[in-house]
Amino acid sequence: MATSSIEWTELTWNPTTGCDKVSAGCKHCYAEVMSRRLKAMGLAKYADGFKLRIHESALSVPYTWKKPAMVFGQLDE
């Protein structure tokens, strides 16, 4: 979880990374490109690149939030 500079959200929370390509619409997937970039940058969460992964240590993060917030899931955190 991190505070966000995105104007329409307050926090980001990303308990999963990667995805499975499910349709022709996935051919030019932005998330796949970003995951390759983040892996190359050495981010541990992206060690497996675009393979779907659940990061169990992130699952309990919402329990630490003390007040309601607009939360957005995205690739970087």
Residues that bind ligand SF4 (CB under 6 A): 19, 21-22, 26, 29, 31-32
Nearer to ligand SF4, 31 or 69 (CB): 31
DSSP letter at 6?
Answer: -
Smallest separation, CB 33 to ligand SF4 (Å): 9
DSSP letter at 24?
Answer: G
Nearer to ligand SF4, 11 or 50 (CB): 50
Nearer to ligand SF4, 27 or 66 (CB): 27
- Please return the burial class of 5, using the count of CB atoms within 10 Å of its CB with bins 0-12, 13-18 and 19+: exposed
